[in-house]
Every structure is written in structure tokens, then in C-alpha cells.
């Protein structure tokens, strides 16, 4: 029997107007301290985002979203946050904030393959139905 690892995850959301509370799911962050795994899968559907917020700067949004996998990986270009321990980086990423990039509440799961769990969550929670059909 394969070992199953407990994990926590949160959905990354783009909230163009915080006052309206509307959002578009744009990624998933998954963390397992047991397996020393912290990863993110990001993919913003610009067409859906523009439908929600026609004047939004998608290049700016992409630059914000692109920093999330860097923080997960702890790379040098992630700045001081990237130098923190994995658990601290996860908690920093999922901390509640009132900005254009937010995360859902943290949820839990178990899986034997955390990279596959991350991909599965992304497909279920982020990928648009139109993209899934292609």
C-alpha cells in the first residue's frame, strides 16, 4: 500500500474589486509538512477575467500570480519571503488579505502523490469548463 500524505490547500483568487467581492479562481497552493512539499499551480483565464473586470491590467495580475510559485519554491527571486521556512511561506501565502490577489480558506486532504493532487485540484477548482473540453 502506498503511503498517503496529509496536506492543506487553498485556492488562489483574483478579486478585481474588493468592494464587490467577485472573484475568479486562478490557482491552487498545496502544502504538506509530512512530505516537505509546497507547490502551486497557477493559470489565470484572461477571457473570463476581462468579462468580470473589462479594464483590468492582465499583465499586472500575471506578475502578481507568477510570484506565488516562486515563493513556494523558495527561490532567490521570491525576495525575503522566499527565504522563510516552507511552513512560514505557506502561511504567508494563505494569510487573509484585502487585496486583488486573495486565497480561499484552507482545506485539507490526503493523497499518495501530492503533485497529482495539486493538478487534480487545479483541474476541478480553477480550469474553466471550456478549457477542460479542449
Q: Which pTM was predicted?
A: 0.93
Answer yes or no: is pLDDT of 77 > 80.
yes
Check residue 130 and give its pLDDT: 66
Sequence spans of domains, the chain: 5-128
Check residue 132 and give its pLDDT: 52
**Half-sphere exposure of residue 35, counting CA atoms within 13 Å on the CB side?**
19
Check residue 128 and give its pLDDT: 74
Amino acid at each position: 500500500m502506498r503511503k498517503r500524505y496529509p496536506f492543506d490547500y487553498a485556492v488562489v483568487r483574483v478579486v478585481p474589486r474588493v468592494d464587490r467581492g467577485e472573484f475568479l479562481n486562478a490557482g491552487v497552493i498545496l502544502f504538506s509538512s509530512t512530505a516537505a512539499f509546497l507547490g502551486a499551480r497557477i493559470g489565470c483565464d484572461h477571457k473570463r477575467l476581462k468579462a468580470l473586470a473589462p479594464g483590468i491590467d492582465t499583465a499586472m495580475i500575471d506578475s502578481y500570480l507568477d510570484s506565488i510559485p516562486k515563493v513556494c519554491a523558495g527561490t532567490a527571486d521570491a525576495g525575503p519571503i522566499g527565504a522563510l521556512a516552507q511552513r512560514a511561506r505557506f502561511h504567508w501565502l494563505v494569510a487573509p488579505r484585502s487585496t486583488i490577489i486573495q486565497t480561499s480558506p484552507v482545506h485539507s486532504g490526503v493523497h499518495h502523490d501530492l503533485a497529482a493532487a495539486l493538478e487534480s485540484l487545479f483541474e476541478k477548482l480553477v480550469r474553466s469548463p471550456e478549457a477542460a473540453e479542449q
